[in-house]
A and B are shown apart, each in its own frame.
Chain A
């Protein structure tokens, strides 16, 4: 019996290890991958959170709201640059997450907008964010603050470590 439970534990450990390191939450319907924010300038009142939402269900879902204790208000926004003009709009009906598909919130596109920051977001810190979905319900994730200008990591998860080095001008090369 003892060896069987050991084997089970080992198998479980293997499964856990095989899961993408950046996926968060244990929700059966939606996986939140690599949630991150960019560090904000001193005194800035707004910030943006980016991530990928993967829908494991065969029915479409919708991100309808978000909340965090770091900001007075949290909204779901889309930004675009049209003919050199930056536009930003709140998505009043939330953001659709297609069945068996995913949607990526990233610079130049969708983001979770933090309004009324209680203090600047500093690279290397983390903060909690709760996402509310129409079907999947509430999912709480931990957002990592990366350097100002950080972009989604193409290698998945851990490759952004160098973004968090140092502060001040030292990290300004990161884009």
Chain B
């Protein structure tokens, strides 16, 4: 049993690592090649509403470097875990944490109203803002951030969402910097966030 556990863990580790390598290669190549893709490959303009019902755009986040994550509140495990991780990292950043903006964008705008997102996010660091919008607005920002999501109907007439679970780290100008993968270790994620803080414009 123990041996099998070790093997399974190792296999899971290898699979996870391969996925990250593929992702990093993909992100690296797409952000370095071609005029059509260029450094603006990830990110772009958007119009959404935040969890207090206020209209927000890309300029709401720009000015500071920011972390942006896509998920949904009906997500039982990955989204709360990621938001919990992010909350812990924010806490560890100390006063520097205020030099960044943080957004949680829903991929399930049908169910994720501003009110529900506001309630949901009250369980995490208060600096993480929730963004929702119409299906079209969400489709647009997801396209810009290269976020995959898909509604999967369930037998009971409801649905679950498949979705990318990656935190995107963006510069103060809205340009893509790097990503934090799902369940990336604390030291690595914190290092990336501290590097992001260093991009704060001096004013």
Residues of chain A within 8 A (CB-CB) of B12 are 108
A84 and B74 within 8 A (CB): no
Cβ of B151 under 8 Å from chain A = no
- The contact string, 1 if C-beta is below 8 Å from chain A, for chain B 135-176, is 000000000000010001011101010111110000000000
- For A81, the chain B residues whose CB sits under 8 A away are 16, 19, 78, 165, 182
- B23 — nearest CB in chain A belongs to which residue? A84
When distances are taken between beta carbons in the complex, the residues of chain B under 8 Å from A155 are none
Question: Which of chain B's residues have a CB closer than 8 A to the CB of A42?
Answer: 119-120, 122-123
Contact A85-B84, Cβ < 8 Å, known A46-B75, A113-B76 = no
A149 proximal to B (CB < 8 A): yes
Q: A43-B119, A172-B84, A173-B88 are in contact. Are A85 and B76 (CB under 8 A)?
A: no
Q: Is the interface of B mostly helix, strand, loop or mixed?
A: mixed
> Which of A77, A84, A148 meets B166, CB within 8 Å?
A84
Q: Within the complex, what minimum Cβ distance (angstroms) separates B192 from chain A?
A: 16
| Distance between Cα atoms of A40 and B123 in the complex (Å) | 8
Q: Are A169 and B73 in contact (CB under 8 A)?
A: no
Nearest CB in chain B: distance from A78 CB, A: 11
What separation, in Å, do the CA atoms of A84 and B165 have in the docked complex?
6
A: contact size bracket: 35 or more
Report A-chain residues with C-beta under 8 Å of the C-beta of B81: 107, 149
Q: Give B115 Cβ to nearest chain A Cβ, in Å.
A: 8
Size of chain B's interface in residues, with CB distance under 8 A?
43
Q: Is B91 an interface residue (CB 8 A)?
A: yes
Check B23 against A43 for contact (C-beta < 8 Å): no
Instruction: Give the Cβ gap from B106 to chain A, nearest Cβ, in Å.
Output: 13
Q: How distant is the Cα of A48 from the Cα of B163 in the complex, in angstroms? A: 18
CA gap between A40 and B120 in the complex, in Å = 9
Collect the chain A residues with CB atoms within 8 Å of residue B116's CB: 43
At the interface, yes or no: A14 with Cβ under 8 Å from chain B?
no
Q: Which of B120, B152, B164, B181 contacts A44 (CB 8 A)?
A: B120
Interface: B44 (CB within 8 A): no
Which residue of A38, A73, A83 contacts B80 across the interface (Cβ within 8 Å)? A38
14 example contacts (A-B, Cβ-Cβ < 8 A) are as follows A40-B80, A41-B121, A42-B122, A42-B123, A43-B120, A48-B77, A81-B78, A84-B165, A86-B78, A87-B152, A88-B76, A89-B152, A90-B154, A115-B158
